[in-house]
């Protein structure tokens, strides 16, 4: 009798062990994927705000990150436009699992020609926060808060 190789029984036991290990890992993967998507969308939003600031100074005019509707949760996304109506970044739509919670007072936030934060509706210098979160039924939703400071600084918390 030759003792080289594996028997069918040994191969089946290894397959069952791999299947059990995989089934234990899958529930943890869904939370990881949501956090990865949340971080990715928040960084993209911050990057587009930074682009808006840079373009406002370069073009010597106001540039806005426009989202709708205001004061509510939106999955519709956002775009970046100048005060003269030129679209710098076409509408970016989120996947079904990501939403924005925007400030009550404006439909956009952006920068004046000096790089200071402004609200679109009033053109006044101001501060804004956007909450980017994962849509879940539980009360403990993973979220990120993107803050636009008066001086035009952008931070992610």
Number of domains in the chain: 1
SS3 content of the chain, % helix, strand, coil (to 5): 35, 30, 40
How many angstroms separate the CA atoms of 8 and 13, rounded?
9
> Residue 148 belongs to what domain range?
8-156
- The answer to the question of residue 149 being in a domain is yes
Tell me if the pTM is above 0.85: no
Neighbours of 125 (CB within 10 A): 15
3-state secondary structure of 114: coil
In this predicted structure, the answer to whether residue 127 has a pLDDT above a threshold of 80 is no
Which residue, 104, 60, 62, is CA-closest to 81?
62
Sequential DSSP letters for 59-87: HTS-EEEEESSTTSEE-S-EEEEETTS-E
In this predicted structure, the answer to whether residue 139 has a pLDDT above a threshold of 90 is no
- The answer to the question of residue 1 being in a domain is no
Task: Give the pLDDT of residue 137.
Answer: 47
In this predicted structure, the answer to whether residue 78 has a pLDDT above a threshold of 90 is no
Chain-wide mean pLDDT for the chain?
79
- The answer to the question of residue 2 being in a domain is no
- The answer to the question of residue 146 being in a domain is yes
Task: Give the pLDDT of residue 92.
Answer: 86
In this predicted structure, the answer to whether residue 136 has a pLDDT above a threshold of 60 is no
Q: Check which CATH number belongs to the domain holding 109 and give it.
A: 3.55.40.10
> Per-residue pLDDT averaged across 68-96, rounded?
78
């Amino acid at each position: 009798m030759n003792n080289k190789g594996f028997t069918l029984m040994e191969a089946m036991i290894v397959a069952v062990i791999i299947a059990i290990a995989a089934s234990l890992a899958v529930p943890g993967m869904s939370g990881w994927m949501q956090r990865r998507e949340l971080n990715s969308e928040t960084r993209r939003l911050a990057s587009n705000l930074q682009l808006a600031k840079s373009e406002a100074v370069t073009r010597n005019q106001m540039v806005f990150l426009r989202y709708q509707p205001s004061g509510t949760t939106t999955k519709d996304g956002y775009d970046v436009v100048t005060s003269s109506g030129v679209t710098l970044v076409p509408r970016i739509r989120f996947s079904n699992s990501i939403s924005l919670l925007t400030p009550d007072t404006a439909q956009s936030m952006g920068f004046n020609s000096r790089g200071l934060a402004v609200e679109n509706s009033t053109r006044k210098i101001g501060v804004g926060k956007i909450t980017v979160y994962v849509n879940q039924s539980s009360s403990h939703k993973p979220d990120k808060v993107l803050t636009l400071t008066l001086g035009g600084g952008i931070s992610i918390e």
